[in-house]
Amino acid sequence: MEELIKSLTETFGPSGEEETVRTMIADLVRDRTDRLFEDSLGNLYAVKEGDRPRIMISAHMDEIGVMVTSIDENGFLRLAPLGRVNPVMLLGQRIRFKNGLTGSVYHEKLKDLKELDWDKLYADVGQKDAASAEGAVKIGDQACLAQPFNSLPGSRCLAKAMDDRAGCAVLIETLRRLPARLPQEACFVFSIQEELGLRGAKTAAYRYEPDFGIAVDVTLVGDTPKASTMAVSLGKGPTIKVKDSSILCHPRVRQLMVETAKKNDIPYQMEVLERGGTDAGAIHLSREGVPSGAISIPCRYVHSPSEMIDLKDAANAVEVLVKLLTKEWSFSEESNVF
């Protein structure tokens, strides 16, 4: 799984420019699905066909990034954030455009770093004037962070875009492990624009009309120095979400996840995330409502160039998902009731 996470995280895919990631994932899962298609906004659906209930499992392809909003006469680029990006996190970092062009991000002269905001920040792609800059990059072009994947001694690793390529990797690995036939239908959605407000999952859920929803994403942790009081640690297993800003997970789905993990001796943690949302937030409010839950991979330094996960947590998330999807979900078409 390490190789898979390495290649996924090193791929270019800020919100709205998920094409490269989508093509890569489509190639990886094509022979494991009965139906593979994308919609007009760019969500990718990999369906393992079966009877109802229909379960939608969603991980988002997009990562945070920046967009070029103007180019000045000296060839410097002004930037706007794609998703929740702290400008401080970008200082001195390299960014990379789709065509491979890289640039450095720095700030105008400031009296105090506290003044730093997007209007004080610029990118330098090494061009001497507007004309040569415009030859290399256009207004509206997007860039992501440029850091490579690093494996650390033990089972932990660092990369940009762990949020949520780690989740994508979990979905892909799950698809590889699942038997040809499941007791019910499962649709793996690789969604777009989650970082801009769960937008892809919203339209995908409307289109697919699932009976249940599961999001696989990363979550924050409370095990770093002076961290907030959150009872989630790296390496202690994937988390089963109870609440975040976007959803109160459905008790039945949550219970099913807990039972599955317990029964199969898979380590897990319970997650209450105080800030942040995930695709399940959009799925559970689709149409008449979709009972939904989420499994997360604990991740340090989320939305930075160096997000850290423990590969064991990702592997255990796959275990939970495989066991969850190969068991039969109770369901009645007349009343998929509480």
CB-nearer residue toward other proteins: 1 or 242 = 242
Is 172:320 a contact under the CB 8 Å cutoff? no
Q: Of 88 and 270, which CB lies nearer to other proteins in the complex structure?
A: 270
In 2-40, which positions are buried (b, 16+ CB within 10 angstroms) versus exposed (e)? eebbbebbbbbbbbbbbeebbebbbebbeebbeebebee
Shortest separation between residue 134's beta carbon and other proteins, angstroms: 12
**Binding positions for other proteins, rule: CB under 8 A:** 15-17, 39-41, 43, 67, 69-70, 72, 78, 80-82, 119, 139-140, 193, 196, 199, 202-203, 206-207, 222, 228-231, 242-243, 248, 251, 254, 269-272, 274, 284-285, 287-291, 335-338
The position carrying tokens 């209007």 is 119
CA distances to 2, 65, 162, 312, 324 from 189, rounded to whole Å, are 21, 22, 17, 23, 17
Give 152 or 231: the residue with its C-beta nearer to other proteins. 231
Residue 234 · residue 223 · CB < 8 Å: yes
Catalytic residue among 63, 185, 194, 195: 194
The phi, psi pair for 223, rounded to 5°, reads -110, 20
Count Cα neighbours of 166 within 13 Å in the Cβ-side half-sphere. Answer: 31
Q: How far is the CB of 180 from other proteins (least distance, A)?
A: 29
Torsion of CA 256, 163, 84, 225, to 10 degrees: 90
Q: Which is nearer to other proteins, 149 or 212 (CB)?
A: 212
The question of whether 194 is a catalytic residue gets the answer yes
Query: Cβ(246)–Cβ(281) under 8 Å?
Result: yes
Of the pair 44, 159, the CB lying nearest other proteins is at 44
Cis peptide leading into 53, omega within 30 of 0?
yes
What H or E segment, with its residue span, contains residue 260?
A: helix 251-263
Cβ closest to other proteins, residue 202 vs residue 300: 202
Q: How far apart are CA 243 and CA 212, in angstroms?
A: 17
In whole angstroms, the minimum distance from the beta carbon of 12 to other proteins comes to: 14
Q: At its nearest, how many Å lie between other proteins and the CB of residue 157? A: 26
- Tell which residue, 256, 266, 267, 269, has the closest CA to residue 55: 256
Distance CA 92, CA 123 (A): 10
Mention every residue, 6+ apart, whose C-beta is less than 8 A from residue 63.
13, 14, 15, 83, 144, 145, 160, 161, 163, 164, 165, 195
| Other Cβ atoms within 10 Å of 150 Cβ, number | 12
Residue number with CB closer to other proteins (42 or 167): 42
Task: Give the chain's radius of gyration (CA, Å).
Answer: 20
Nearest distance, CB of residue 147 and other proteins, angstroms = 23
Q: How far is the CB of 52 from other proteins (least distance, A)?
A: 13
Least distance between other proteins and beta carbon 215 (Å) = 16
Q: Where in the sequence numbering do the catalytic residues fall?
A: 194
